Structure 1
Amino acid sequence: MFIVAVTGGIASGKSTVSKVFQKQGIPVIDADKIAREIVEPGQPCWKQIREIFGDEVLLPSKEINRAVLGKMIFEDKELRGKLNKITHPTIHRKIFWRVCKLLVSGHSWIVLDLPLLFETGVLMDYIHKIVCVSCDQDKQLERLIARNELSETEARHRVNSQMPLEKKCEKSHFVIDNNGSVEETESSAMSIYNMMCESKQHWLNRISFLGLFLIVGFSIYLLLKVFNKLPASWQM
């Protein structure tokens, strides 16, 4: 199995691309969905957020008021760092375990939807190919303002808190231009899907994994054989 990461900027269209892969039967692990799961009332991250940010970031239902919390962290880099310190380790741990579960399920490849892939850099060593979904900043701001009902200033704060899309595109293997229609974006995603399906990388990974397994197994066998030949007085 190999991993394809979908990244980009906020409101650049990552979800549109990930859905194309999902519709074709490719498992998608969405970091944003995990981020929402771990801050549900009663969860350890929820408790830490409440402790640091106070009850003002809670709705009457005790759920996190994402609008209030978002406004706080995108206007204050220090607060954003505190929130990331609470949530990022848990998000990465859950992604890792979900990848492990899919590893034994027989899939040739899977997709990780990771908005902050380059910003955190944590999972880079495990990723085979990176797809960056890009669009012009004016289009990005327009979509973000409409989607989250933000002012232009608030939207700019959120866009500027991430690595510039130009740099993300430079670091990626594929770039999907999402300035056009949904159909055009989906067509670009399907082209990448077809290329990934033709890739033999999953076989190379399986052979490498099998080779590592055999090496470890043979090493243990040799150690046991040597251990059994030691004089009884030396054995514990």
Structure 2
Amino acid sequence: MLIVALTGGIATGKSVVAEILSSKGCYLDNADLAAHDLMRPGGEAYQAAVNHFGEKILTADGLIDRKRLARIIFKEPEERAFLDCLTHPLILNKVRENIAGLEKSGEYEIYVTEAALVIEAGYQTFYDRIVLTFCQPEIQVERLSQRDGLSSREAWLKIKSQWPLEKKIPLADYLIDTSGQLTETIEQAEELYLRLYQDAQLKKMGKFVKDLD
């Protein structure tokens, strides 16, 4: 089974590409949703997060307020680093467990996990292929502002908290530019699927080359 990470900056169209790949028969996982599960009461990261950040991140029901926590980590890089160190290894463990189960079943040829920070976490070598979505910065700001109800300045600060595109591109195998019309993104995603399918067949035959360079 081909193991693929679909990554990219916030509001760069990862979910659109993920939906296309899923519709083609790829198994779709979501590392960000796994992170949410880890932070729920009883989750593996919940108590450590509460111990570190304090009860100020909790709602009246004892749930972690993700928006409140996000405000903290986007303003304080050292706090973001703590949270990343806490959650990233746990997320990778979940990914490994899912992959092991899928490979045992033999039902899927391509596994795709939507993971916004896979490159920042340094886990790109775990995957057979890295797919990176991106778009023009002004479009990214506009999308994020509309989606999350942020001012342009707030959106820009959130974007700047992630790695710049120029650091990610050399580590990616396939690029998807979502700056244009939706139909253009869909066309690129469909072409991407064909390439991933070819990669999956090569891996099955033992002829897969991980480094495209």
User: TM-score scaled to structure 2, two decimals?
Assistant: 0.89
* Correspondence list, 1:74-89, <5 A: 74-89=74-89
In the alignment, what sits opposite 1:172? 172
The alpha carbon displacement at 1:205 in A equals 4.5
Please give the per-residue CA displacement for 1:69-106, whole angstroms capped at 9, x wherever unaligned: 10110010011111112211211111111111111121
Task: Give 3-state SS (helix, strand or coil) of 1:117's partner.
Answer: coil
Of Structure 1 and Structure 2, the greater helix share is in 1
Please give the per-residue CA displacement for 1:156-195, whole angstroms capped at 9, x wherever unaligned: 2321121112332232222111011222111110111122
Q: Does 1:99 align with 2:99?
A: yes
Task: Give 3-state SS (helix, strand or coil) of 1:34's partner.
Answer: helix
* Correspondence list, 1:132-143, <5 A: 132-143=132-143
* Correspondence list, 1:110-125, <5 A: 110-122=111-123, 124-125=124-125
Please tell me whether the aligned partners of residues 71 and 154 of structure 1 are also in contact (alpha carbons under 8 angstroms). no
Task: Give 3-state SS (helix, strand or coil) of 1:119's partner.
Answer: coil
In the alignment, what sits opposite 1:149? 149
The structure with the larger Rg is 1
In the alignment, what sits opposite 2:211? none
Please give the per-residue CA displacement for 1:45-87, whole angstroms capped at 9, x wherever unaligned: 1111111112221122322211111011001001111111221
Task: Give 3-state SS (helix, strand or coil) of 2:105's partner.
Answer: coil
Please give the per-residue CA displacement for 1:8-57, whole angstroms capped at 9, x wherever unaligned: 10111111111111112210121111111111123231111111112221
Task: Give 3-state SS (helix, strand or coil) of 2:133's partner.
Answer: strand
Q: Taking every aligned residue pair, what percent have the same amino acid on both sides? A: 33
Please tell me whether the aligned partners of residues 75 and 157 of structure 1 are also in contact (alpha carbons under 8 angstroms). no
CA distance in 1 between counterparts of 2:91 and 2:198 reads 31
User: TM-score scaled to structure 1, two decimals?
Assistant: 0.81
Q: What is the root-mean-square deviation in Å for CA atoms of aligned residues? A: 1.9
Query: Aligned residue pairs: how many?
Result: 206
CA distance in 2 between counterparts of 1:59 and 1:183 reads 41
In the alignment, what sits opposite 1:204? 205
- The amino acid across from 2:169 in the alignment is C
CA distance in 2 between counterparts of 1:153 and 1:142 reads 11
* Correspondence list, 1:19-98, <5 A: 19-98=19-98
Structure 2 segments unaligned to the other structure (5+ residues): 209-213
In the alignment, what sits opposite 1:159? 159
- The amino acid across from 1:20 in the alignment is I
The 1:62–1:182 alpha-carbon spacing in structure 2 relative to 1, beyond 3 Å, is farther
The 1:63–1:206 alpha-carbon spacing in structure 2 relative to 1, beyond 3 Å, is farther
The 1:206–1:141 alpha-carbon spacing in structure 2 relative to 1, beyond 3 Å, is same
Task: Give 3-state SS (helix, strand or coil) of 2:29's partner.
Answer: strand
Structure 1 segments unaligned to the other structure (5+ residues): 208-236
Q: Does 1:192 align with 2:177?
A: no
